[in-house]
Structures are given as structure tokens and as C-alpha cells.
Amino acid sequence: MPIPVTVLGGYLGAGKTTLVNRILAGSEGLRVVVVVNDFGEVNVDEALITSRSGDTIGLANGCVCCNLSEGMAAVIERIRAMRPPPDHVVIEVSGVGDPGPVAAWADHPGFDRNAVLVCADAETVRAKLDDRWVGDTVRAQLHAGDLILLTKTDLLGSQALDRTRAWLSAVAPAVPVVDAHALDLADLLNAPAGPRPAAEALGHHHGRHRSWVLRSDRPVDRTALREAILAAPAGVVRVKGIVRTTEAPLQRTAVNAVGRHCEMTDAGPWGDTDGQSYLVVIASAELATGAEQEFLAGLLPR
């Protein structure tokens, strides 16, 4: 039987990783393979991990977490060769990627396409759609969905939520809107695909964004880094990574910033690694070169 594939999309900070963690933790009785862009954002309980092999983590509940770093074609072929085969595949698309074309991989021999689920942050999706830097990307993601999952609904009152649901229905009238917490995992994974476009191109659409990877062997001051990130010029949409701080040099500090929200959390000891800090910065392609270089230079010590 073909392996069903669910694609998970949505803009940066919309709640995709939270949903991935929920799938990995709660898929009892199912052998699910989750394909992600970055292991570092997926909170896998070490007690559940039974094996690590390159870009793959095996879990005690039978689930497998694969990193997308080697490319979609290689990952799909590796999944197809798994014995026994998985019961389901979930592909998390980059926060600035278009989930529609990625879903075409589910038409690969041996697989069957289920729904494209697009997460929308109830608190910020309207502002993002109006943002000159990211609005086109957010709109394309919403229209690519078979189902829009409204996340972070606890941050809004009932009347504001109703307005947001009605607004989303007007923005993407062909795509049903549901609260993410209202569906159980079976409903999410078994949601069917909608009508397919006549032609689709395989791969991610990143033309509207650029990214940089910064590295440093020197510890960074936590407060100074937070202030630098929050002072980012308009057009910087994401900063994430792992850093060594002067305040806690033996512990890894995870950095996750979207817009004007910046979280820094303990990510465990460095152990036997080299302890090198790294940050990934994603910005609109329209960001002025001078502003971008000044911002990048001020993040990590040289």
C-alpha cells in the first residue's frame, strides 16, 4: 500500500514545530516519519531516543525524525526503502517556503498525498499579511493549504478569534479554517488532499528571502545579543541558532527570534562538541545591503 504523506506549512513562528513535537510524542500505534528542516527546533525527549544515525533519530514509539539537509529526493528514497515501511510521513516545510510544490513529492511512486496543513498564528497572521516584507509569502502559504490550522488561539478573546476566522475565510475562501487544538492526531494525519493544480514544480520557493549562517568561537554576552536581535532592521524575519554565552559557558543556549519576539532557552550541556556558536538569519530579499551587513556584524563576536 502507498504511504500517506501530510505536508505541514506556515510562516515562521506559526506553530509548526509545536505540532511536529505533538505528532512525535503522541503517535501511539503508528510508525510515523517526520521530515524537518532543523533537528535543533524539535524537542525530542532523550528518554525516547533509541538510535542516532547521521541525520536520522529513531524513537522508542517507532517514529523516525529525519533532517532535510541532504535534499528531498534523497530523503524520499530513504523512506521508501525502509523495512518495515512507515505508516505515515509528515514533511515540515521551511517557514519561508511554499508548501504547495513540496506536496508534489507525495506523488512519488510508493506514496499517496494527504492534506497540506498550513499553520496560522491567530495573534499575528493579519499583521504578517499586511507586512510589505513577508505578506506575499504568507498569502501564498495560506492559499496552498487544504486546511488552515489556527494556532495560539489562547492569546485572543472569543470575539477577536471570530473576527480572525472570518478574515482568514475571506483571504483564502477555498481553504477551511479550524482551531489546531480542536483536532486530534488522527484527524490531522487523515485529512484528505484537495484539488491539485494542473502543474507543480518540485522544491522550495525561497526567492523572496535570503539567509546567512554566522559562526563564532568566542562566547557572546546574552543581554547584548538579545538587544542586537531586537534592534534588527525591518525585513529581518528570523534569527535562530545555538550560542555559548559568557553567563553560562558550559551550557548551550538556544536562540529563537521571530519579528520582535526573542526567546533564549537552556538547550543542555555542550558535551564533547567544539562549542562553536552559530546563528541562522533569514531576511527579505528587499532588505538594503548596508542595513543587513551592519546588523549581521553586530550579532556574534569576531
Give the residue extent of every domain in the chain: 3-190, 209-297
Calpha distance 146→100 (Å, rounded):
10
* Residues in CB range of 158: below 8 A, 6 or more apart: none
pLDDT at position 289 is 60
Sheet holding 209-216, edge to edge: 209-216, 277-284, 236-243, 251-258, 261-269
pLDDT at position 288 is 54
Cell numbers at residue 171, please?
Answer: 483571504
* Residues in CB range of 156: below 8 A, 6 or more apart: 122, 123, 164
Which residue ranges in the chain fall short of pLDDT 50? 197-206
pLDDT at position 274 is 67
The answer to whether the beta carbons of residues 20 and 36 sit under 8 Å apart is yes
pLDDT at position 200 is 37
Cell numbers at residue 61, please?
Answer: 514509539
pLDDT at position 204 is 37
Is residue 191 classed as helix, strand or coil in its secondary structure?
Answer: coil
pLDDT at position 40 is 58
Task: Dump pLDDT digits (tens) for 26-49.
Answer: 766 788 888 887 655 665 656 666
The answer to whether the beta carbons of residues 140 and 172 sit under 8 Å apart is no
Is residue 284 classed as helix, strand or coil in its secondary structure?
Answer: strand
Q: Across the strands, what pairs with 5? A: 89, 113
Report DSSP state, residue 285.
T
Please give the CATH number for the structural domain made up of 3-190. 3.40.50.300
pLDDT at position 142 is 93
Task: Dump pLDDT digits (tens) for 259-282.
Answer: 677 888 887 888 766 678 888 787
Architecture of domain 209-297: 2-Layer Sandwich (3.30)
Residue 80: CB atoms within 10 Å: 15
Cell numbers at residue 186, please?
Answer: 488522527
pLDDT at position 195 is 60
Identity (one letter) of the amino acid at 276? Answer: Q
pLDDT at position 285 is 64
The answer to whether the beta carbons of residues 203 and 211 sit under 8 Å apart is no
